[in-house]
Amino acid sequence: MSTIAEKRPAAGAATPRRRLAAGVGVLLAVLLVAAAASLAVGARALGPGEVWRGLFAAADSDQRLTEIRLIVRTVRLPRTVLAIVAGVALGIGGALIQGCTRNPIADTGLLGVNAGASFAVVSTISVLGLTDPFQYVWSAFLGAAAAGAVVFGLSSIGRGAGNPLTLALAGQGIAVFLAAMTTAVALTDQASLNALRFWNAGTVAGVGFGVIWPVSVFIAAGLVLALATLPALNLLNLGDDVARGLGVNTARSRTAAIVAITLLAGAATAACGPIAFLGLMVAHVARYLTGPDYRWLVPYAGLLGAAVLLACDIVGRVVVRPGELDAGVVVALLGAPFFAVLVWRGKFSNA
């Protein structure tokens, strides 16, 4: 009897893990379906067979097949890959920033990465005259990284060093300052203003693999660093004093998480522009599905971020045919009511 009683807790503990693992499988399946739909949906709808031939058929003299290959490989495949990569990065970044700051309404923009990237884009175009997206995407990444470093540096000095509130205040201060500087530069240079209007909408279209693959390297580095911080992040959410008592170096762990967020959000923002609310939304949905354990919450947030961004991009292609709505606009239309519901229901418990 005692043996049976001892085994029951272990079996009960295994059940949530199996459920969470099954949930990861479901999200992967949803993501796969969304990716297939992204390849098929557009101004010219393609059937499954046409998508398959567009992906894998060799070059042929058939003009119709050539057109399909061009649509699938050159236009839809890059935007699908970018939506997945950027969605994973922003979803995980949103979950991490909420955990680091213990602020349930925090988003990756809290570190000033969006504002830093925007200012770098208009400055590069205005000062250097570089108007090609491949050229200014790197300045956007550097601007995002520099803004994140400045925000973290300011929050690490003085009496409130390491305090999540100090980090949030420093981020907001830098973001407001950079937004004002961005506006000042853009209003004095027409080329900068035009580029900023396009880039600020947040889109996964029009970016080739020449940009996606290099950006993915930084996102991969951020993912590795993020995964390494998850055990410490669980303890940090119990409070810094408790975490220190359990042997966690809070400063080092929070620094590693902030660097991971900057890499993830900075690279994604550089590639497709600022996507507001995505990290905020998927982090809350992931927490609802998994609970507060970041070892599960972060993978869920990444998969949800990719699926949501893909779905919003698909919706943007359909609702205003033959034109398109940028994915960032659709995400904002979804995220603003989500945020309002959070405020209305008072869901501001600690992350």
Examine residue 31 and state whether it is found in any structural domain, yes or no: no
Instruction: Supply the pLDDT for residue 160.
Output: 60
Cα separation, 330 vs 231, in Å, equals: 34
Burial zone of 138 (CB within 10 Å; 0-12 exposed, 13-18 middle, 19+ buried): middle
Read off the pLDDT of residues 22-31 as tens digits, 9 standing for 90 and up: 999 999 999 9
Q: Which of 78-87, 144-153, 169-178, 270-279 has the highest mean pLDDT?
A: 78-87
Residue 142, number of CB atoms within 10 A of its CB: 16
Contact 106, 92 (CB under 8 A): no
- Non-local (6+) Cβ contacts of 149 within 8 A are 262
Assigned domain for 63 exists: no
**Domain membership flag for residue 320:** yes
- Per-residue model confidence as pLDDT tens digits over 4-15: 444 444 444 557
Task: Look up the CATH number of the domain holding residue 273.
Answer: 1.10.3470.10
Give the other-Cβ count within 10 Å of 311's Cβ. Answer: 22
19 belongs to a structural domain: no
Residue 104: pLDDT over 60: yes
Domain range enclosing 152: 80-345
The answer to whether residue 48 sits within a structural domain is no
At 340, list the tokens.
């309002």
Contact in structure between 100 and 164 (CB atoms under 8 Å) = yes
The enclosing H or E element of 75 equals none
Tens digits of residue pLDDT in 44-93: 888 888 899 888 877 666 778 888 888 999 999 999 999 999 999 999 99
Query: Is position 113 within any domain?
Result: yes
Task: Look at residue 12 and tell me if it is in a domain.
Answer: no
Element (H, E) at 304: helix 294-318
- Per-residue pLDDT tens digits for 124-152: 888 877 767 677 788 888 888 888 888 88
Number of domains in the chain: 1
DSSP string, 44-74: S---HHHHHHHHHPPP-S-HHHHHHHIIIII
Lowest-confidence pick of 1-5, 27-31, 201-205, 211-215: 1-5
pLDDT tens digits, residue range 289-322? 999 899 999 999 999 999 999 999 999 999 988 8
Residue with tokens 């042929």: 60
Domain membership of residue 42 (yes or no) is no
Cis omega (within 30 of 0) for bond into 274: no
CB 246 within 8 A of CB 235: yes
